[in-house]
Amino acid sequence: MSELIQTSDDALMAEALALAARGRGATSPNPMVGALVTQRGYVVGRGYHARAGGRHAEVVALDEAGDAATGGWLYCTLEPCCHKGRTGPCVERIVQAGLAAVVVGVEDPDPRVRGAGIRYLRERGISVTVGVREAEATRLNEAFFTVQRRARPFVTMKVALSLDGKIAVAPGERTQLTGHEASAHAHDVRGVVDAIAVGSETVVVDDPLLTARGAERQRPLVRVVFDTRMRTPPTARLLGTLDAGPVVIVTTEAGVARWPDRAGGLERAGAVVEVLPARDPAAALSRLLVHDVSDLLLEGGALLHQSMWGAGLVDRVRLYLAPVVLGETGVAWVPLGQVSIATLGESAPRWLGRDLLLETDVHRVD
């Protein structure tokens, strides 16, 4: 039992949000959730959702509180669930605990909940306040909200760029633009996202591993290759890293019909070949939900970026700006001019060694 330093709803929700963030990289496709139980000026229980399929934050906090929860208050970053999944409904446990009040960060967008948990509690005499630090609670689970509202993963478009807006010194030539610190940051991001996606040109030119080197992951990392021309060779290095997570090749019926042997070779090499009726970026992203992909890092190349950007499917741009100039023969990043360096200022620029990290949200989750 620890004495409260601050007793405002805002301060207690801030602590619950910090608890929730401990589950980053481990809870998908479930949301990150944190919870506190308070009683007469003390926090008597804390909890967070540590992994998909594990106990929910509210249950962990109530278990820690025990009998001290009776008559107390629960602070929860997301509306308590009222349906049975891999665990039972949290609202039933809250009522059984005899809580007097519940403070919620944001309503759950899942159609199985969407206010029903709040109504359940109120109908049983429990006071419920909703919307404390709502913007922060929504942003914490931006991937979960995107899946529920748009039926696709949250997409971050990542690019390393020269000062003159180029991504490579020449077509088909592998180019390392960023330094060690920026590369380490990129791998840390890989450590928590659900999936990385590239186009077939990136596989052919760079032959990347697409693993999270130096970062400790809690779940397998899904690697996605968008490949309507079936160019990915069965000998690609990423197919030798299936112990790190599945490799999904997204193609079309026309591609498989034209190159059936290539599709078969990829499947024999261990890839999962997802076949769409036609080239459709939105449908391709939605198909990834069956692989529990809620948070997708779109790493390249330029044609894939152009396709997703043009379809309005990019939620965030993350740009690593390197202090080099590649000149007229360099390969331009296609969206430049639509997403100019000057517009990437919503978050404070951050130096990573010699490189500058710029980020901006494109389509906000609200």
Q: What does pTM read for this prediction?
A: 0.92
Determine the residue type at 289. L
In a domain, 147, yes or no: no
Same-domain status, 119 and 156? no
In a domain, 352, yes or no: yes
Q: Count how many domains the chain has.
A: 2
Same-domain status, 65 and 161? no
In a domain, 30, yes or no: yes
How far is Cα 46 from Cα 25, in angstroms, rounded to an integer? 20
CATH number for the domain spanning 91: value is: 3.40.140.10
In a domain, 49, yes or no: yes
Query: Which residues have a catalytic role annotated?
Result: 58
Same-domain status, 190 and 291? yes
Determine the residue type at 315. D
Q: How do the pLDDT tens digits run along the chain, 366 residues long? A: 455 555 799 999 999 999 999 999 999 999 999 999 999 989 999 999 999 989 999 999 999 999 999 999 999 999 999 877 666 789 999 999 999 999 999 999 999 999 999 999 999 999 999 999 999 999 999 999 999 999 999 999 999 999 998 998 888 788 889 999 999 999 999 999 999 999 999 999 899 999 998 778 889 999 999 999 999 999 999 999 999 999 999 999 999 999 999 999 999 999 999 999 999 999 999 999 999 999 999 998 888 998 998 899 999 999 999 999 999 889 888 654 555 555 555 567 899 999 999 988 885 444
Same-domain status, 267 and 299? yes
- Structure tokens given for 312: 């309005």
Same-domain status, 9 and 61? yes
A 10 A CB-CB count for 278 gives 9
Q: Are strands 101-106 and 73-78 parallel, antiparallel or unpaired?
A: parallel
Give which of 277, 255, 281 is closest to 266, Cα–Cα: 255
Q: What are the strands, taking DSSP E only, across the chain? A: 2-3, 34-39, 42-48, 73-78, 101-106, 127-130, 154-161, 166-168, 195-199, 222-226, 247-252, 272-276, 295-300, 316-321, 331-332, 350-352, 355-361
Determine the residue type at 263. A
In a domain, 323, yes or no: yes
Task: State the residue range of the domain holding 66.
Answer: 2-140
How far is Cα 153 from Cα 155, in angstroms, rounded to an integer? 6
DSSP labels for 192-234? TSSEEEEEHHHHHHH------TT---SSPPEEEEE-TT----T
In a domain, 366, yes or no: no
In a domain, 200, yes or no: yes
Same-domain status, 126 and 193? no
Same-domain status, 183 and 206? yes
CATH number for the domain spanning 187: value is: 3.40.430.10
In a domain, 218, yes or no: yes
C-alpha dihedral sign at 351, 355, 356, 357: negative
Same-domain status, 110 and 231? no
A 10 A CB-CB count for 297 gives 25
